[in-house]
Amino acid sequence: MKKPTIIENMSDLEKSDIVTIEHPQCSKKSSQTVNNYEYTEHESSGSRWQDFKDSFKRVDLETLDPNLTRAERAALATARAPLKKNLKNRHLQMIAIGGAIGTGLFVGSGASLRAGGPAGLLIGYGISSSFILAVICAVGELAVEFPVSGGFTTYTARFVDESFGFASNFNYMILWLIALPLEIVAASITVNYWGTPKKYRDGFVALFYVVIVSINMFGVKGFGEAEFVFSIIKVITIIGLIICSICLVCGVRGSYIGGKYWHHPYGAFVGDNAGARFKSTMSVFASSAFAFSGAELVGLAAAETENPRKALPKAAKQVFWRIALFYIVSLTLVGLLVSHKDPRLVGTSSADAAASPFVIALVDHGIKGLPSVINVVICIAVLSVGNSCVYVTSRTLAALTDQGFLPKKLKFDYIDRNGRPLVGIIFTSVFGLLCFIGASDKEGEVFDWLYALAGLAALFNWASICLCHIRFRLALSSQGRSTEELSWKSPLGVWGSWYGLAIIICVFIAEFWVSAWPTGYKQMSNRAIATNFFETYLSMVVVVVMYVGRKIWSRNFRFLIPVSEIDIDTGRRNSDIELVKAEIAEDKAYIASRPWWYRTYAFWC
């Protein structure tokens, strides 16, 4: 029988320092650094059909020492998960950008424009982009050091608190689990543009559903290749829309538009006074959070990446710039081309809910054919985000089980010989059948409530990542360790995470105020106010209930893990600190020898 290590095709440094396990009670303990956990890889039976059937069998792993604590078992279980490391640098780059471009940009931006106006739209997305940079740099640093199963979803229980980790992990899982039917429902809304008869719309939903599930059954390599293709299509489309929109604003087709929709009688903001305008701007954050969901995906994919030390830093730094370019520039142009008072925007009229602001802009300028192309790309965006939904949810469910947050008897930690968390994929796919609710007369209402449940969940997850990074750095300092041992350091440092955490907390406070006392609340019934609050703040209520419930159930009322007790070694990829420092010094020397423009590019990109 052949017993290969999980990671192949890596640099000498990576090969010598894969997944360090440094725990005295570990059943795999050795006098030297343990290389990667080994597992039995079955040889071919000679029959393709038999090999196919065998690929669904579970990978056998050695039983962990029963004397380990719950936290120790969780750290070791996630470190040794037999996921296939088939994602290459090009996959990770496209996952980073593709995971954040979906119906939130193509469709949801219409609701944001209507709610906040063109200026409110830009302010909301602009602030969101600024703390996204801090979040991605933080998760990049942590994921390079700890490329374990579940990625950053495991860090909160490890660096902050077990109950906080429980609430945070379930929050993230629910976000992506809900997003799968949400995205497919959005596709069913989009095909209304072609006047698709209701009896055929179910066929479109079924088609999208089958494609998404089928892709994930090909394992992480199938996911990566599909995401690579989908993301290229979306990026090319956004670039084309930007160029086309600039031409339209400048009057290439018709008269010059400029800032027409920013002035009277349209207005840059929604609201008659400063308070109303502030509230309308704050209302954009919930939709921007949903739209940016997926930017952190690089941190989860680290466990299945061939060489995360090389691929992750580049992907992490470029995510912000790509998002800022594609979102900020395209939404600026949309605000110049479409009035926030346009009745065709999503949320204004159920009859025309299929029209995105991009399509409205093209139709208004008499451009034929292209609006249908954009609607096709929106459908592709649904496949891309839906693809990510199954991937993320199945991996998160496996990590939740490894951490002891879900019962073992549910088998969510079942990983087959192709590296697929099979039970997690099946569960997510079954839940995705909710997409067929698109045939219901309550379609718009269901869309709103699913959107509310997923919206602020992303903000909470980003705040958790920043907090984990802060706690990790504090633990390093408390235990007499230095950041010099890190393979890659966030260019913003720990202060970037403090900034991201502070801004997100401010957004939560502002969103609470806007939700509890919306514009015109004095004329609203109590039922209407309550509905408005929960449509925005529902996800936070779920998090609080889970956190308190876990505290009571576990009887662990300690607020935070003392920094001196935080485990900063189990699962780390690199163990030879001196070798790490030597390679880092070599990289720095090379960059220092290059021109100033190259040094600037290397720092930010």
DSSP helix/strand/coil, 100? coil
- Residue 160 token pair: 């902050």
What is the mean pLDDT of the segment spanning 40-62?
72
251 in Cβ contact with 257 (< 8 Å):
yes
pLDDT band at 70 (very low <50, low <70, confident <90, very high): low
Find the distance separating the first CA and the last CA of the chain, reported in whole Å. 44
41 in Cβ contact with 2 (< 8 Å):
yes
530 in Cβ contact with 517 (< 8 Å):
no
What is the mean pLDDT of the segment spanning 345-352?
49
pLDDT tens-digit map of 532-542: 788 778 888 88
- Name the more confident of 431 and 518: 431
The answer to whether residue 427 scores a pLDDT higher than 70 is yes
DSSP helix/strand/coil, 595? coil
Phi, psi of 41 (to 5 degrees): -105, 115
Phi-psi region of 231 (alpha: psi -120 to 50; beta: other; left: phi over 0): alpha
- Residue 367 token pair: 């451009």
Look over the chain and give the mean of its residue pLDDT values, rounded to a whole number. 79
16-20, 180-184, 556-560: range with highest mean pLDDT: 556-560
The answer to whether residue 323 scores a pLDDT higher than 50 is yes
108 in Cβ contact with 290 (< 8 Å):
yes
What is the mean pLDDT of the segment spanning 441-445?
61
Q: How much of the chain, in percent, has pLDDT values that exceed 90?
A: 12
Taking Cα atoms as reference points, which of 322, 356, 247, 258 lies closest to residue 95?
A: 322
Taking Cα atoms as reference points, which of 179, 170, 205, 238 lies closest to residue 546?
A: 170
The answer to whether residue 594 scores a pLDDT higher than 90 is no
Q: How far apart are CA 68 and CA 76, in angstroms?
A: 10
- What pLDDT, on the 0 to 100 scale, is given for residue 257? 86
pLDDT band at 423 (very low <50, low <70, confident <90, very high): very high
DSSP helix/strand/coil, 416? strand
- Residue 16 token pair: 């010598």
Q: How far apart are CA 362 and CA 132, in angstroms?
A: 30
Eight-class DSSP state of 571: T
Q: How far apart are CA 120 and CA 283, in angstroms?
A: 9
Measured at the alpha carbon of residue 144, what is the angle toward residues 141 and 148, in degrees to the nearest 5? 120
Taking Cα atoms as reference points, which of 332, 91, 104, 93 lies closest to residue 224?
A: 91
What is the mean pLDDT of the segment spanning 36-47?
59
pLDDT tens-digit map of 367-383: 888 888 888 888 888 88
Please name the amino acid found at residue 571: G
- Name the more confident of 101 and 447: 101
322 in Cβ contact with 97 (< 8 Å):
yes
- Residue 266 token pair: 């349209």
What is the mean pLDDT of the segment spanning 189-197?
74
The answer to whether residue 402 scores a pLDDT higher than 90 is no
Taking Cα atoms as reference points, which of 576, 599, 444, 588 lies closest to residue 14?
A: 576
The answer to whether residue 64 scores a pLDDT higher than 90 is no
Q: How far apart are CA 507 and CA 135, in angstroms?
A: 15
CA dihedral 590, 593, 594, 596 (to 10 degrees): 120
pLDDT band at 530 (very low <50, low <70, confident <90, very high): confident
The DSSP secondary structure of 323-340, one letter per residue, reads HIIIIIIHHHHHHHHS-T
- What pLDDT, on the 0 to 100 scale, is given for residue 45? 64
The answer to whether residue 355 scores a pLDDT higher than 70 is no
Alpha carbon 220 to its chain's center: 16
SS (H, E, C) 21-65: CCCCCCCCCCCCCCCCCCCCECCCCCCHHHHHHHCCCECCCCCCC
- Name the more confident of 410 and 442: 410
Taking Cα atoms as reference points, which of 240, 270, 244, 549 lies closest to residue 377?
A: 240
Q: How far apart are CA 220 and CA 168, in angstroms?
A: 24
The answer to whether residue 275 scores a pLDDT higher than 60 is yes
Taking Cα atoms as reference points, which of 124, 158, 590 lies closest to residue 403?
A: 158
DSSP helix/strand/coil, 3? coil
Residues 6+ apart with CB under 8 A from 97: 231, 235, 318, 319, 322, 323, 326
Measured at the alpha carbon of residue 247, what is the angle toward residues 243 and 252, in degrees to the nearest 5? 155
- Name the more confident of 343 and 421: 421
pLDDT tens-digit map of 480-497: 888 888 888 888 889 999
- Residue 513 token pair: 């105020």
- The domain locations on the chain are 12-556, 575-605
309 in Cβ contact with 302 (< 8 Å):
no
- Residue 370 token pair: 């292209």
Asked if residue 308 has a cis previous peptide bond (ω within 30° of 0), the answer is no
In the CATH hierarchy, which fold is given to the domain comprising 12-556? Amino acid/polyamine transporter I (1.20.1740)
pLDDT tens-digit map of 194-253: 777 777 777 888 888 899 999 999 988 888 899 899 888 988 888 898 999 999 999 888
- What pLDDT, on the 0 to 100 scale, is given for residue 34? 32
The answer to whether residue 604 scores a pLDDT higher than 80 is no
DSSP helix/strand/coil, 20? strand
Using the Cα atoms of residue 585, residue 80, residue 139 and residue 306 in order, give the sign of their dihedral: positive
Taking Cα atoms as reference points, which of 333, 366, 324 lies closest to residue 259?
A: 333
Burial of 563 (0-12, 13-18, 19+ CB in 10 A): middle
295-299, 328-332, 455-459, 574-578: range with highest mean pLDDT: 328-332
What is the mean pLDDT of the segment spanning 55-60?
77
The answer to whether residue 109 scores a pLDDT higher than 90 is no
Cross-strand partners of 87: 305
Residues 6+ apart with CB under 8 A from 436: 202, 205, 206
Residues in the chain: 605
What is the mean pLDDT of the segment spanning 379-388?
84
Residues 6+ apart with CB under 8 A from 52: none
